[in-house]
């Protein structure tokens, strides 16, 4: 591998620096780039971050190379490393596992193209290359690695399929019970400690009713258990999707929206508590259980909606949540579950009220998908963004938060206004930091940051807007490539913002210069308007 020096900007706020506001830009790293280059994909690691991208060679050369670097939690970066990629191979998947970065590449656009898996030891820079042979000719939708075994999920003849590929001996194991016309895969979640992976699917039974099942497999694709989640007490209810949490104290939760079969797609949110034996209990929450659902509205409009709801309850009318309420994220903290739902409406009647979304780690890190220019080889990490070439518009009305205990009892709920912002992306709108009491919700609006703070479920401030800032006082932002910006929660109350910028600075000859960079900035959020920061604790 060739090694190149990575120029980076590093700053640490000293003790007692006065900060006005709740958003503090604490550290920054920059990589020289060109405006048209791919963005780096950034993944959180145990000790910091890993950033990587493929870039094309200059001129008429068709060859590509992969560049990557690592950082610690202060964004102090390693050298920029790179190695050549084989001609005509494109990056279509990636994963981190046990200190290794794994990359899946495919030759050409055809699903039958040869596939390669690269493994990079991020400590020693050791590089391994494995030809992925005997893999089904499928459109790859997911790529995970666990204990040197690659899990590949894709679509073949409009049906899902999963295979496990052993990187050591190249054995291939095809997972049974997945390849079917009536099956949709909603989520794949690996558990490296317990050495199994879960597959969340929905399917139609012989009565054409949709059900959700949790399938658990070992490292070779052998099925360990299957839990079929059904609304037993009311067969008219229909569960179509959800998010599966990690196993904690032998308990797992499945949370998402539910509706009435063939009639009302949005009745509310369900909570399924699953024990180690596959036994489960369901709880269902409707609009009548969400005391603060209308908090996102102005006071007069909120009062009208609440009076209308009370009237519907008195007359025993069927109560439905209009528009789409979709579960985006579930955070386990202190034995409780924080549920983040987006509430939005589509600009076209062709959009289904409950549009099934596949949730994977990439979706978690990069909720707005193609904005990050990572569709390098046709790999659609979030496939529902482009349906038959139709461009939909989505108006985001609110972000709803629910805090549930392990039994599903609601501790609090609240709903925040998203100011009717319109976007072409139906993905997760914002990023969440939650420590059990403090909840910070941040999202990007063009090149501005918006921040809301809740404590114990009560709003302390809402939709505070912040400009992007540099750390060096003698530099200025000339231009920010808005479509390159990406925001993600990192750890504690820290977020990462990345993208491309043109930076004005003064050269040694005292003339103004401009550099084009890809940057990563560490952001600390705080609940107080004015405070003196002591030196950051990690």
Digit-coded pLDDT (tens) for 206-254? 777 888 999 999 999 999 999 999 887 787 888 888 999 999 889 999 9
Q: Cα 215–217–222 angle (5° rounding)?
A: 120
What pLDDT was estimated at residue 423? 87
Contacts of 150 (CB under 8 A, 6+ apart): 102, 104, 117, 132, 143, 144, 164, 165, 167
pLDDT digits (tens, 9 = 90+) for 9-58: 443 333 333 334 589 999 999 999 999 999 999 999 999 999 999 998 77
Round the CA-based radius of gyration of the chain to a whole number and report it. 24
What pLDDT was estimated at residue 528? 66
pLDDT for 389 beyond 80: no
115 exposed, middle or buried (CB, 10 Å; 0-12, 13-18, 19+)?
Answer: buried
Confidence of residue 266 (pLDDT cuts 50, 70, 90): confident
pLDDT digits (tens, 9 = 90+) for 171-216: 999 999 999 988 999 999 999 999 999 999 998 877 778 889 999 9
H or E, element range at 161: strand 159-166
User: Do 530 and 19 contact (CB within 8 A), yes or no?
Assistant: yes
Phi then psi for residue 92, to 5 deg, are: -125, -5
pLDDT digits (tens, 9 = 90+) for 58-92: 766 678 999 999 999 999 999 999 999 999 999 99
User: Do 295 and 415 contact (CB within 8 A), yes or no?
Assistant: yes
CA distance 110 to 269: 40
pLDDT digits (tens, 9 = 90+) for 100-118: 999 999 999 899 999 999 9
User: Do 69 and 79 contact (CB within 8 A), yes or no?
Assistant: yes
Kindly provide the b/e burial profile for residues 214-240, where b requires at least 16 CB atoms within 10 angstroms of the residue's own CB. Answer: bbbbebebeeeeebebbbeeeeebbbb
pLDDT for 2 beyond 50: no
Quote the tokens at residue 525: 């959020």
- Give the three-class secondary structure for 253: strand
The torsion of the CA quartet 136, 141, 143, 149, rounded to 10 degrees, works out to: -30
- Give the three-class secondary structure for 274: strand
What pLDDT was estimated at residue 424? 82
pLDDT digits (tens, 9 = 90+) for 296-320: 999 999 999 999 999 999 998 989 9
């Amino acid at each position: 591998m060739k090694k190149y020096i990575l120029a980076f900007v590093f700053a640490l706020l000293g003790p007692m620096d006065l900060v006005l506001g709740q958003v503090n830009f604490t550290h920054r790293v920059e990589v020289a780039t060109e405006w048209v280059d791919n963005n780096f994909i950034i993944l959180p690691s145990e000790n910091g971050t890993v950033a990587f991208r493929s870039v094309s060679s200059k001129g008429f050369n068709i060859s590509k190379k992969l560049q990557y670097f690592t950082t610690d939690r202060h964004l102090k970066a390693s050298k920029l490393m790179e190695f050549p990629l084989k001609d005509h191979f494109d990056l279509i998947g990636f994963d981190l596992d046990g200190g290794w970065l794994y990359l899946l590449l495919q030759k050409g656009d055809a699903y039958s193209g040869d596939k390669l898996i690269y493994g990079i030891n991020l400590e020693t820079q050791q590089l391994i290359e494995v030809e992925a042979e005997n893999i089904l000719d499928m459109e790859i939708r997911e790529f995970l690695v666990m204990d040197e075994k690659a899990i590949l999920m894709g679509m073949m003849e409009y049906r899902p399929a999963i295979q496990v590929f052993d990187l050591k001996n190249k054995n291939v194991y095809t997972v049974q019970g997945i390849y079917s016309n009536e099956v949709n895969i909603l989520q794949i979640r690996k558990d490296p400690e317990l050495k199994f992976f879960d597959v969340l699917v929905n399917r139609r039974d012989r009565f054409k009713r949709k059900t959700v099942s949790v399938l658990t497999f070992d490292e070779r694709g052998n099925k360990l258990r299957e839990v079929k989640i059904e609304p037993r007490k009311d067969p008219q209810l229909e569960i179509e999707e959800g998010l599966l949490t990690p196993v904690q104290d032998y308990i797992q939760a499945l949370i998402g929206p539910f509706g009435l079969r063939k009639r009302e797609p949005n009745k509310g949110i369900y909570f399924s508590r699953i024990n180690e034996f596959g036994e489960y209990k369901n709880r269902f929450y409707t609009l009548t259980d969400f005391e603060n659902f209308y908090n996102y509205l102005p006071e007069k409009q909120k009062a009208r909606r609440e009076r209308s709801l009370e009237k519907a309850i008195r007359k025993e009318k069927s109560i439905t949540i209009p528009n789409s309420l979709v579960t985006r994220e579930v955070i386990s903290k202190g034995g409780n579950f924080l549920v983040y739902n987006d509430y939005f409406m589509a600009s076209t009647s062709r959009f289904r009220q409950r549009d099934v979304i596949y949730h994977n780690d990439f979706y978690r890190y990069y909720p707005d998908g193609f904005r990050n220019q990572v569709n390098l080889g046709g790999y659609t990490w979030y496939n529902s963004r482009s349906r038959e070439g139709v461009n939909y518009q989505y108006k985001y009305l609110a972000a709803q938060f629910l805090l549930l205990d392990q039994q599903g009892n609601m501790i609090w709920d609240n709903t925040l206004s998203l100011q009717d912002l319109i976007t072409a992306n139906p993905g997760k709108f914002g990023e969440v930091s939650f420590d059990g009491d403090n909840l910070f919700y941040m999202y990007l609006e063009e090149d501005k940051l918006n921040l809301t703070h809740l404590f114990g479920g009560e709003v302390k401030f809402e939709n505070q807007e912040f400009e992007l800032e540099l750390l060096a006082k003698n530099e200025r932002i000339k231009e920010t490539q808005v479509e390159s910006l990406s925001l993600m929660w990192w750890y504690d109350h820290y977020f990462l913002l990345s993208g491309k910028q043109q930076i004005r600075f003064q050269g040694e000859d005292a003339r103004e210069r401009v550099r084009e960079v890809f940057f990563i900035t560490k952001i600390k959020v705080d609940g107080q308007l004015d405070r003196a920061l002591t030196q950051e604790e990690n």
